[in-house]
Structure 1
Amino acid sequence: MPTPRIDRRTFLRASGVLIGLPFLEAMMPARGAGTNQDPARLVLVGQPLGMYGPNFFPTKPGRDYEPSRYMKLLQAHRDRFTVFSGMSHRYATGHFAEVGIFTGVAPEMIRDKDIKNGISLDQEVASHIGNETRFSSLIIGGGDVAWNRRGVRIPSEQRATRVFRQLFIAGTPDEEARELQRVKDGQSILDDVGDQIKALNRKVGTGDRERLDLFLTAVREAEQSLQQDEHWSKTPKPKVDFQTPTSDFGGPQLVERSRQWYNIVHLALQTDSTRVISLWLGTQERPDIEGVTLGHHDASHHGQDPAKLEQLALIEEEEIKLFAEFLDKMKASKEGSNTLLDRTAVLYTSNLGNSSSHDNNNLPIVLAGGTFKHQGHLAYDPKNNTLLSNLYVRMLQHMNVDAKSFGASNGIISGGLVIEKYMGLEPYK
């Protein structure tokens, strides 16, 4: 007996609950009924304090590079990412360049106290495909990195509870408040849709039941992190001997906060709630990492002090480990014959190269997943940097946007990073 087909837009519904489902084999069209074009997705991950170059960049270019201290943490995905060196937007020294990290406009448009910005990469993509999903894009975590076509900043949602509510809780204000409070009290929103889940499991095959189980586990993990969030909000902050930061990038709970955001990004993509996400991570305070006694900002301004450099390395290693965890989840999530990672271009970067001197050149850049033929380590001139916007053009093409330029680009990235034939499209060269 054939497995009944399930509509791609099926939701689990109850009073105050609306949960989209991950892609299941039972959602694929019947043979001969036409093709269901696989969706392409984009995730931009940024953080404000750079990465220490000698620990981040491999010394040898090409696919057979020897991994650096940080790249060793990503080797499980070696064939699914490219690390870049010698790339930037060529902005002047200073933290203010954060506003241009994903817009890539010309250097003369990004000056301290004189910003004339353009549209950011995520919003350019959202303008082409955003109406195909419940949310055209998600801008989360913090930062000033999302901008519309008029060069107006789009605020980021910094509260994970609000994003979780947008994704999974629907109803009257009272129903939403009740469901969110239940989650915080340790109950699951899945309790309300338990019978629907059981009925769905009876309709699908073994592979889909495994996918559903992974998805529901991810929902529970996200709920648990929100409960942890509630705990930390009621816990007094530790007293430490360093200057109070001027801005809050998530507090000292760097690890759990970042993991929480990555889990929400994963769930949003699994449910096809959106296909475009920008996520800004990081903390300037002392993070919750064993062996770290300095604030992140203090350690990043190391002045080549060996003790500070080792503290910084512990922090940055943890950040890369969290990114690796996220890639693990993306790879484990199947969509048809591919994985979520296969369909998602994930960019990890920072607006700073050397945070100790506020230098915006030679940015740390990893591009993972997507339809690209990955090249290991693509090394460009560390003094005369290749424009990062040239890579953004290639990323637009991954998103099926027939772009020839973006921001201040003066070409399209070369070095073999072409887009392989995929989704019925001819590859870009």
Structure 2
Amino acid sequence: MADHQFSRRTMLRGLGVTMALPWMESLSVWGDETPSITPASQAPTRMAILFSGCGYHRHEWWAKGQGKSMELGKVLAPLNDFRDRMTFIRGLYNAEALKGNIHSSQTGNLLSGAPLTAGGTIRSGTSVDQVVAQKIGHQTKLPSLVLGCEKANPSVHKNYSMLYSSHISWSSPTTPTPLEVYPALAFDHLFKESAQLGDKSVLDAVLADAKDFRRDISTLDQHKLDEYLNSVRDVEQRIERAGKRGEMQGWRPTLTGPNIPRPADGYPQDIVEHMRLMSDILVLAFQTDTTRVCTLKLNNDHGTLRFPHLGVDYMIHHLLSHNDTDDWLKVNQFFLEQVAYIARKMDSIREGDRTLLDNSMLMLCSSMLNGHHDANQLPVVMVGGGGGRIRGGQNLDYLEKPDRQMCRLYLSMMDKMGVQLDSFGDATQPLDEV
């Protein structure tokens, strides 16, 4: 058996499969050269950026007060349990997004603050997640993980490419980062040597190595290993069940014309299960230290998702955003429930004296405050401790202050990921409070 205890990174290996393991007290996982109990402070900091397009209900996106007694608007109600772990930020904006005043021009540079090229030409800026990935990505199997629940739209809208509204992650000014919308392929990226579908279970492939490895760790870590492997199996089985119902996002017809009468309106996939699978994969990626940088685009700006499970099936997401109705509020809360689900799951994973949530920054943002294209201030909420460097329970308001560039927040986030830059986008200094 390979000497796991002295490996710089602890892995289980099988035919065509490499599985990174979660933090364990009896092993040196993140860089110690001799076996010891690794303090929680040495666990890596992770950064996840979640996005939902078209903003939120303009009367229900707000926070008042501080800490556990913070009052939240109805949109943010799913995060009530995390008020002392969250940071609500009001008033940041992206100056370049004000120039086009349409969805594409407000989204394509959301994570970079870069000028956009119109006329159907593609040119934006390298996004904050990919700047971090390019600096620290060599430390993990995957530099970053870029996930989505709605496929990209390559058309042009009002002189701007819709690729801008379909991608928040950009590897270079002219290259949107490849977006994985298939849960099975995203799962393969984490655990297989190459992204390919296969019949063999990831767990089956590493089972022999896991049995040998289990004998050399503490009883506490044996329980942790068992829980982790069970969570991997659960995701595998759910993906398999979803596949038997037919492909999820990205389904392609097998006929050139319909062979049945037109069915009732409705979205042709289980969007609830799709988002939960992607959320679980994000957590697994962080839990295994397969990557420390992830973006999850829950939908496109100017998107076409429908929400029959909410009883809101008469209009697509983009059109719903134009009016602040009770149905729009239901959709907003559904997206915030995904953030709460990820936060709760991360908070249940112990990493020494902290949790995975304590060691992470989970940020939700949108390209406009509400569906009326108001980008003078952007909706931002963060959950997590950023490796012990972010104080929770904060309610920050920059609306009437100078230097309220969104890119100042990115400078702060990059600093916590070990990436120090003198400037980014239109910002030259980080936010001191974050």
Q: What TM-score comes out, normalization by structure 2 length? A: 0.79
Task: Choose from 391, 406, 409 the match for 1:388.
Answer: 406
Task: Choose from 279, 302, 323 the match for 1:303.
Answer: 323
Contact 2:57 2:75 in 1 (8 A): no
Question: How far 1:392 moved relative to its partner?
Answer: 0.7
Task: Choose from 320, 324, 331 the match for 2:347.
Answer: 331
Contact 2:310 2:331 in 1 (8 A): no
Contact 1:70 1:320 in 2 (8 A): yes
CA distance in 2, matches of 1:382, 1:220: 50
Question: How far 1:150 moved relative to its partner?
Answer: 4.5
In proportion to residue count, which structure has more helix?
Answer: 1
Question: How far 1:384 moved relative to its partner?
Answer: 8.3
SS of residue paired to 1:295: coil
Q: 2:169 matched to 1:146?
A: yes
Which residues in structure 2 correspond to 1:197-346 (within 5 Å)?
197-233=210-246, 239-241=263-265, 252-282=269-299, 284-297=304-317, 300-304=320-324, 309-346=325-362
Question: How far 1:131 moved relative to its partner?
Answer: 0.8
- Cα 1:68/1:206, change in 2 over 3 Å: farther
- Cα 1:367/1:62, change in 2 over 3 Å: same
Counterpart of 1:69 in structure 2 is 74
Question: How far 1:404 moved relative to its partner?
Answer: 3.4
CA distance in 2, matches of 1:42, 1:204: 29
Q: What TM-score comes out, normalization by structure 1 length? A: 0.80
Contact 1:299 1:311 in 2 (8 A): no
Q: 2:125 matched to 1:118?
A: yes
Percent identity for Structure 1 against Structure 2: 28
SS of residue paired to 1:54: coil
**Residues 27-85 of structure 1: CA deviation (Å, up to 9, x unaligned):** 23457899894322211111223222322222x25444312213331122222210112
Structure 2 residue identity aligned to 1:166? H
Q: 2:170 matched to 1:161?
A: no
- Cα 1:87/1:270, change in 2 over 3 Å: same
CA distance in 2, matches of 1:233, 1:135: 28
Task: Choose from 125, 129, 139 the match for 2:136.
Answer: 129
Structure 2 runs not aligned, ≥5 long: 152-165, 254-261
SS of residue paired to 1:289: helix
Counterpart of 1:19 in structure 2 is 19
Question: How far 1:251 moved relative to its partner?
Answer: 5.8
Aligned residues: 388
- Cα 1:34/1:391, change in 2 over 3 Å: closer
Structure 1 runs not aligned, ≥5 long: 183-187, 243-249, 418-429
Question: How far 1:192 moved relative to its partner?
Answer: 3.7
